[in-house]
Chains A and B, each alone.
Chain A
Amino acid sequence: GESVGLHLPTLSVQEGDNSIINCAYSNSASDYFIWYKQESGKGPQFIIDIRSNMDKRQGQRVTVLLNKTVKHLSLQIAATQPGDSAVYFCAVSPNSGYSTLTFGKGTMLLVSP
């Protein structure tokens, strides 16, 4: 089966810095990769996704990078803001047609002013 791990349980940054959250997965056949954000007291919220036929995808202030060779996924947040403080999960999905995701444990991002 798939296993998904995050490199750091906690990441502390200063406001305005760029943040990078890393994730590793085990199944080289995984097709779909997603980042979720979970603020305190709320459910996870979809941030950005990427398919295995891409290496990079950009959103608003966020970029996801996929390195299939080493099975590594990262989320980059530009100009981090206090409102970005949350737990960030990566998740990996097979191309099964159903949303059966394997989640990582989460990295807590702490942004100080």
Chain B
Amino acid sequence: ETGVTQTPRHLVMGMTNKKSLKCEQHLGHNAMYWYKQSAKKPLELMFVYSLEERVENNSVPSRFSPECPNSSHLFLHLHTLQPEDSALYLCASSQVGGNTGELFFGEGSRLTVL
């Protein structure tokens, strides 16, 4: 148990569906992240929120829309996805100003786009 909980763990959706991934952290951290993990590729940073404000967006397609309503919750809204978006989506949290590399990851949401 890492203190970061992601739901759902598995999601299958069609290209025209709209769904959301949810992440909740119980560690009192002030920064949250979405990463994409595809087979045989390094982890790709998608979004960073620090103190609930988006501070980094690595040019992710607009079909991915993040939302951070408070420091404990993070969402990734999905719409009109493509099959190549199938991947493991990992949420992470950290304490800005603390150990900068110590991200705490959730177990991921495995997304399959048909």
Contact = CB atoms under 8 A, between A and B. Distances in A.
Interface of A: 4, 32-34, 41-46, 49, 89, 91, 93, 95-106
B2 interface: yes
A104 B41 CA distance: 8
B74 interface: no
Interface residue range, chain B: 20 to 34
B101 A44 contact: no
B99 A43 contact: no
B105 A101 contact: no
Contacts of A33: 101
Nearest to B103: A99
Contacts of B104: 46
Interface of B: 2, 4, 31, 33, 40-43, 45, 48, 50, 55-56, 90, 92, 94, 96-97, 99-108
A101 B43 CA distance: 9
A45 B2 contact: yes
A44 B42 CA distance: 12
B43 A103 contact: yes
Contacts of B31: 98-99
A46 B102 contact: yes
B55 A49 contact: no
Given A43-B107, A105-B42, A99 B90 contact: no
Contacts of B99: 49
Nearest to A95: B100
